[in-house]
Structure 1
Amino acid sequence: MTHRPPTVTASVPVLDPPAWALSQRALLDLLDSGWRLFSARYTRPDGSLRYEGRLSSRDGADDFFEPFFNWPQLYLLGGADDLLETCARHWHGVVAQMTELGMFADEFEIGYDWFHQGESLLFTYFLTAADPHSWAERATRFADLYLFPANGNYDPELRIVKAPHNGGRGAREGVSDTPAYPWTEAEAAQYGYPLDWLVPDGAPVPPLAKDPRLGAEMQRRLGSGDVVGNLSVAGLIANAYLAGGERRYADWLRDYVGAWQRRAEANGGIVPDNVGLDGVVGSRLDGRWYGGHYGWTWPHGLYSIGQAVAVGALSAALVTGDDGYLGFARTLLDAVIERGVKQSFDESDSANQGRWRAHLGPDAYVPTLLVPYRHSDKGWFDHNPIQTSVPFALWHHTGAPEDRARLDALRAAAGYDWATVRPFRDKEEAGHEEPWYAYLCGDNPDYPERILAAAHAQARRRIALLLANADRDLPEEAIHLWQNVNPVVTEALAQLMWGGPQVVYNGGLQQARVRYFDARRRRPGLPDQVAALVSAIEPEATVVTLVNLSAVDDRTIVVQGGAFGEHEIVTAAATSAEPGWTGHDTEYVHHEPVVSVTEHAVGGAYLAVELPAGTTITLTLRLRLRACRPSYRAPWEAR
């Protein structure tokens, strides 16, 4: 290291290994066997997925990347050394596969919406964090598709991305390559239609192929101009900044995210979902601020908009250091919460019944706060519990009282117990922010053991499904199977080890109070046989317990403040034990260790921890949030 960080040495003995530590290490072993099994049974030697079909629409490329999205995240947590090379092989294999299928050019999607591109790019972002030297050039090249107007995606004068579908070949005309958008009867029954006002109530419903809501009018009105979902491109820009530190990426985020923030302010605090090529909100929709592609009316509303706004606001705040960009994410949340109703989910008009019934379990029949996810000419509709990941991500970033108060109010308005842990999975590999928040509030003490048990159950279920479906010849409509049987579950590990929520799924970057590096092997993640538990994440008291379960091997760890070294560790109060706890060899029992706490000045983003064999240490870190420039660089590199 160019600047050796302060060092503390553990001395408290591990006499009775905590259950959470044993379960955590067992989960890491289970996930290691799981990804190896998936790789062997579902992929070819070049890393591509075993798939013989074609893709009939612009959709589908994301589904080839999503099964691997959190594999490099597992490596960052402490997964096997060869996992990094395996991830890179799968990335290159799938990119070549997508190029052959006509979806990619020069390693980037030729043009699709950012609800889906954000999902697929998580794989790239985690790979860049895990191995920035190998991936920095790509991070820069991909971000520059949006920085330079000559690439056809961005208008710097109006500060708009010029189409809902965009990418490696610039703004892509329309929203499909067929005369009518390929919408099915089942999807129409679940989500309704875009441009729903084009067929008045009571009018005959046209066949899908002739419906103006899915044909020429959809291409004309929704096929150009900016949409709120494009805010997820901010994650791509922030990834390039973290890899190289170039100021131009921060400047672009100021311009683009700032433009959307001003549009929200002009719309009474609710971010609009569409901007015409003239830079005017609603100019393609007869003045409507709603109704854009993947916007407030169709298909997912707040589910996709909330994540896109969070990605944009948090990326801009991280890179520029200005938390003012979070304002329009806050007002968006407050606006829908104010319009919420108290009723049981069983009685709601939700379009996403399966996801929320799994989340709520028997509490689907209990009155709770439901907020509207969508808006059309008919007003607000599609009521669901609020997706807690977005308000939680805001509070995690700021630690601000107003963001904590919002979570406390949501918890008080819920008709179900936030401490309940259910072993469900959702698309985001997340959804357990509520019981984790209860744990951090101090009233859910057995959460670590319960969430790890849920993660074990998820991983074992998926391995069983993986084996049961390994020999299927998948048709195009079944390719979601890959992500459904992905055996790598990382939410519990990110929460407990890093003190961070699972990444915002539609293109976000990882949040964490701390991360770890193996100092001896010079790689990210915890060394073998070491477990970590973050039990508090307040800036004044971020509490981390490290346990070396090995009775014979010493370990050395570097604790980093934040996911990207952005937090300064001001001081560290560390536990220690006096020698002599073993007693004399003629005695029949050990002596109870005498534990004390000593405070150490740190004054930087890193703290080295020596963990002799069979020792544990609890660190109470006082952090100064976002006091350092965020970067993917490792602790031993010059900053």
Structure 2
Amino acid sequence: MSSEPTGPAGPAVARPRLTASVPCLAPPPWATSQRALFELLDQGWRRFSEAYCNPDGSLRYEQELSSRDGADDFMEAFFNWPQLYLLGGADDLLPAAARHWHGVAGQLTRLGMYRDEFEIGYDWFHQGESLLFFYFLTMADPQAWQQRAARFADLYLDPACGNYDPERRIIKAPHNGSGGAREGVSDSPSYPWTEAEAAQYGYPLDWLIDPMAPVPPLAEDPRLGEQMQQRLGRGDAVGNLSVAGLVLNAFLATGEHRFADWLGEYVGAWKKRAEANDGLIPDNVGLDGVVGSQLEGRWYGGHYGWSWPHGMYSLAQAALVGAMSAALARRDDSFLDMPRALLDAVIAQGRQGRFADSDSSIAPRWRAHLGDAIDTDTLLVPYRHSDKGWFDYNPVQASVPLALWHHSDDAADRARLDGLRAASGYDWASVRPFRDKEEAGHEEPWYAYLAGDNPDYPEQILAAAQIQARRRLALLETHAGRELAEADIHLWQNVNPVVTEALVQLTWGGPQVVYNGGTQQARVRYFDRSANGGVRPGLPQDVAALVSSIEPLATTVTLINLSGTQARALTVQAGALAEHEITTVTATHSCAEWTGRDSEYLPHEPVVQSSDVDVAGPWLDVDLPPGTQITLRLAMRLRAYPPSYRSPA
């Protein structure tokens, strides 16, 4: 093990270089399974592209789109492809992903959904989902995408674009984009709500009709017609907090402080509204800047808010995206008090009961997640609120409190997670091979692994990922060549064979990205230095990584070069955005005499020791000779540097 002196963080400063010397004689199952998953996913994206896409990268779709909805479904099919590249996917995956983005953006322009490469105007529950693809492309190649990132963010910073009112600190409509604030919630006089959706979610503005009165036809229902367009189709909505992810993306790509200033201003305004409402973030603000002014004083009932359709499921993610974006850009974790207070207020309304008996509006999602535990008493919290009080009881979606803890490493955030685990009637160590919309959902068993009482988790989650990827490949082949109708365009994301949650958790030590437009979290990331002296994001070929511990001030990761003949080299980065400092590293090493003499029948037992090396920066270089491994305990100072998409030189 060798090292070089280091100084303050910066791409031109020398940094330590460690050489692995501990032999990996019998590669652990998690390492071989991890590399097998990389190989399978590489086969998967190539087959999807071949079966479902045109040469320009667009999707094979010959129909029109009849409403404002649908653009997100085109982009979501590829959202985690550049994320896979960042993890260590194939070299040609990045240009392939860029080709698909440009092809689909052009396709959506022809379909009347995009203008200047950006959605004309739709809600941010959906725009946040579709923009993950763009955010990961920017993260993977910031030079290529930074001008576009700034241009998109300026749609909200520049009042002349028609979206933002800087005096009242509001976005002027729930539907917004390159066409400015887009009044109404549909292009038709009546919102296109179906009988099935009404049965599942109920109606917005449910107080407009006496509950004893006959239900009018959908096209004549004031809750879906003019009243909805006027009351819910103008003014700010809580879902717009996901715009913060777009603005943070521009800040990370450019470093321009005007983006950070806007985040502090806009998210700060929502934080104050939440504080004035006893910690429960309201879901609507009128054009006059007053909460409830379009809903006769109600803090609930806004578009994609507390009453309709998803409640906590969508607005908690929006609040988290907003708060974490502002906290990162402004380097001020007090913004996180907004989602903390939201969680604590809703958890306080919880009750014990069987999920099988709940009034959940999203029961299929939780039945897949819980399995047999639907019949066990567990903590259920209300996701929605209206004039009738709290309703729609579900388990707490663990991704939100886990993301808070992962960012802060705060004892209170960890205590909240531990309290939720104790109140759950289901086993947090159980791994089920389900798929959910967020390409996530295994936060509980991962957290149990990090807590030290789920040791088999790496092998189990990698097996679950194999099952899901192979299932989707089979579905992909079943539907290949099928001409899709507009109602069926969710097929693309449902058969996307790229599954990344397991790789994010195990290699980066981070949760899967918050699906409604979040920014990737990680304790460590990697840059491949193996080829021609250059550097690209991701693990090198043949290298497996496992983050086994995330302590308040340290992270432990093991790196293994599975190749028996090829050396690999990489840089370890502290944080997804080089925002943390590695103060020191404790690294394993061994003497070279383990092979023994050629006339002996057995190798000698390697003697493994550890040594400390000072780092004082966000990056550390590691050389991995063939068949070697190294375990690094990285002592860290969290958020020591401004976050950025910069990469090591």
Instruction: Give the TM-score band, short-chain normalised.
Output: over 0.9
Q: CA deviation at 1:540?
A: 2.3
2:593 alignment partner, SS class:
coil
Give the counterpart of 1:426 among 415, 436, 440.
Answer: 436
Q: CA deviation at 1:207?
A: 0.2
Residues 217-249 of structure 1 deviation map (CA, whole Å, 9 limit, x = unaligned)? 000100100000000000000000000000101
Matched residues in 2 for 1:108 and 1:540: separation?
Answer: 41
Residues 10-56 of structure 1 deviation map (CA, whole Å, 9 limit, x = unaligned)? 00001000100000000000000000000000000000000000111
Matched residues in 2 for 1:223 and 1:579: separation?
Answer: 70
Structure 1, 196-205 or 31-40: larger mean CA deviation: 196-205
User: 1:41 aligns to what?
Assistant: 51
Q: CA deviation at 1:519?
A: 1.8
User: 1:140 aligns to what?
Assistant: 150
Q: CA deviation at 1:449?
A: 0.2
Q: CA deviation at 1:538?
A: 1.6
Matched, 1:185 2:198: no
Matched, 1:280 2:290: yes
User: 2:550 aligns to what?
Assistant: 537
Contact 1:539 1:624 in 2 (8 A): no
Matched, 1:635 2:648: yes
Contact 2:85 2:537 in 1 (8 A): yes
1:581 alignment partner, SS class:
helix
Matched, 1:589 2:619: no
Contact 1:548 1:614 in 2 (8 A): yes
Q: CA deviation at 1:202?
A: 1.2
Matched residues in 2 for 1:387 and 1:622: separation?
Answer: 30
User: 1:382 aligns to what?
Assistant: 392
Contact 2:521 2:575 in 1 (8 A): yes
Q: CA deviation at 1:578?
A: 1.3
Matched, 1:615 2:628: yes
Matched residues in 2 for 1:539 and 1:78: separation?
Answer: 27
Residues 186-236 of structure 1 deviation map (CA, whole Å, 9 limit, x = unaligned)? 000000000011111111000000000000000010010000000000000
Q: CA deviation at 1:6?
A: 0.9
Residues 115-174 of structure 1 deviation map (CA, whole Å, 9 limit, x = unaligned)? 000000000000000010100011000000000100000011100000000000110011
Contact 2:530 2:540 in 1 (8 A): no
1:426 alignment partner, SS class:
coil
User: 2:174 aligns to what?
Assistant: 164
Aligned length: 636
User: 2:305 aligns to what?
Assistant: 295
The one-letter code of the counterpart of 2:65 is L
Contact 1:395 1:404 in 2 (8 A): yes
Structure 1, 163-172 or 513-522: larger mean CA deviation: 513-522
2:92 alignment partner, SS class:
helix
The one-letter code of the counterpart of 2:255 is G
Matched, 1:107 2:120: no
User: 1:602 aligns to what?
Assistant: 615
Give the counterpart of 1:457 among 445, 450, 467.
Answer: 467
User: 1:223 aligns to what?
Assistant: 233
User: 1:579 aligns to what?
Assistant: 592
Q: CA deviation at 1:398?
A: 0.3
Matched residues in 2 for 1:82 and 1:155: separation?
Answer: 43
1:272 alignment partner, SS class:
coil
Matched residues in 1 for 2:569 and 2:585: separation?
Answer: 17
The one-letter code of the counterpart of 1:465 is L
Matched residues in 2 for 1:3 and 1:520: separation?
Answer: 20
The one-letter code of the counterpart of 1:594 is V
2:296 alignment partner, SS class:
coil
User: 1:211 aligns to what?
Assistant: 221
1:69 alignment partner, SS class:
coil
The one-letter code of the counterpart of 2:166 is P
2:288 alignment partner, SS class:
coil
The one-letter code of the counterpart of 1:158 is R
User: 1:396 aligns to what?
Assistant: 406
User: 2:5 aligns to what?
Assistant: none
User: How does 1:252-401 map onto structure 2 within 5 Å?
Assistant: 252-401=262-411
Matched residues in 1 for 2:384 and 2:518: separation?
Answer: 22
Matched, 1:549 2:559: no
User: 2:3 aligns to what?
Assistant: none
CA RMSD for the aligned pairs?
A: 0.6
Matched residues in 2 for 1:28 and 1:520: separation?
Answer: 18
The one-letter code of the counterpart of 1:302 is M
The one-letter code of the counterpart of 2:58 is S
Matched residues in 2 for 1:384 and 1:623: separation?
Answer: 37
User: 2:513 aligns to what?
Assistant: 503
User: 1:558 aligns to what?
Assistant: 571
2:544 alignment partner, SS class:
strand
Q: CA deviation at 1:100?
A: 0.2
Contact 1:539 1:622 in 2 (8 A): no
The one-letter code of the counterpart of 2:569 is T
The one-letter code of the counterpart of 1:54 is E
Moved over 6 A (4+): none
User: 2:504 aligns to what?
Assistant: 494
Contact 1:302 1:373 in 2 (8 A): yes
Q: Which runs of 5+ in 2 are unaligned?
A: 1-10
Matched residues in 1 for 2:312 and 2:203: separation?
Answer: 16
Matched residues in 2 for 1:527 and 1:171: separation?
Answer: 45
TM-score by length of 2: 0.98
Matched, 1:466 2:470: no
Matched residues in 1 for 2:492 and 2:201: separation?
Answer: 24
Same amino acid, percent of matched pairs: 71
The one-letter code of the counterpart of 1:534 is V
Matched residues in 2 for 1:460 and 1:516: separation?
Answer: 27
Q: CA deviation at 1:541?
A: 2.5
Q: CA deviation at 1:539?
A: 3.5
Matched residues in 1 for 2:644 and 2:543: separation?
Answer: 25
Matched residues in 1 for 2:613 and 2:446: separation?
Answer: 29
Q: CA deviation at 1:3?
A: 1.9
The one-letter code of the counterpart of 1:549 is L
The one-letter code of the counterpart of 1:588 is Y
TM-score by length of 1: 0.99
Q: CA deviation at 1:4?
A: 2.7
